[in-house]
């Protein structure tokens, strides 16, 4: 388990070095807590990112690439959050998928 945790820590360092957005990384850390090794792997990933963040390690990639990556991550995160919370809570009965309906004579149509 120690090797896996060390690998997750290094992955967090790599995530910082390629310019992952801090909010994206926070969600990534929580997600990774649900994967093996449970909780510890996610914490190690977050710790690696945080360690690099505190040390202000210089990203070895161009600034425009960092901007692109962060913009893409925020768009994906926004779609995820809207899709999993807002969109489902605002659905009306007419927007629900219909599997079968009854026609005028009362017969079921697919």
Q: Are 70 and 22 in contact (CB under 8 A)?
A: no
Range 36-61 average pLDDT: 94
Q: Could you state, in order of their start, the residue ranges of all structural domains in the chain? A: 2-84
Which tens digits make up the pLDDT trace of 14-39? 999 999 999 999 999 999 999 988 89
Which tens digits make up the pLDDT trace of 53-75? 999 998 899 999 999 999 999 99
pLDDT score for 65? 94
Q: Are 18 and 59 in contact (CB under 8 A)?
A: yes
pLDDT score for 37? 85
Cα separation, 59 vs 52, in Å, equals 10
- Give the residue among 89, 19, 84, 98 at the shortest CA–CA distance from 53: 19
User: Does this model's pTM top 0.85?
Assistant: no
């Amino acid at each position: 388990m120690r090797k896996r945790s060390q690998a997750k820590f290094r992955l967090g360092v790599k995530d910082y070095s390629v310019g992952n957005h801090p909010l994206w990384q926070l969600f990534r850390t929580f997600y990774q807590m649900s994967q093996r090794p449970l909780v510890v792997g996610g914490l190690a990933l977050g710790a690696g990112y945080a360690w690099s963040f505190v040390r202000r390690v210089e990203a070895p990639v161009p600034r425009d690439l960092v901007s692109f990556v962060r913009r893409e991550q925020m768009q994906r995160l926004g779609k995820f959050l809207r899709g999993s919370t807002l969109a489902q809570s605002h659905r009306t009965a007419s927007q629900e998928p219909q599997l079968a309906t009854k026609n005028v004579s009362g017969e079921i149509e697919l």
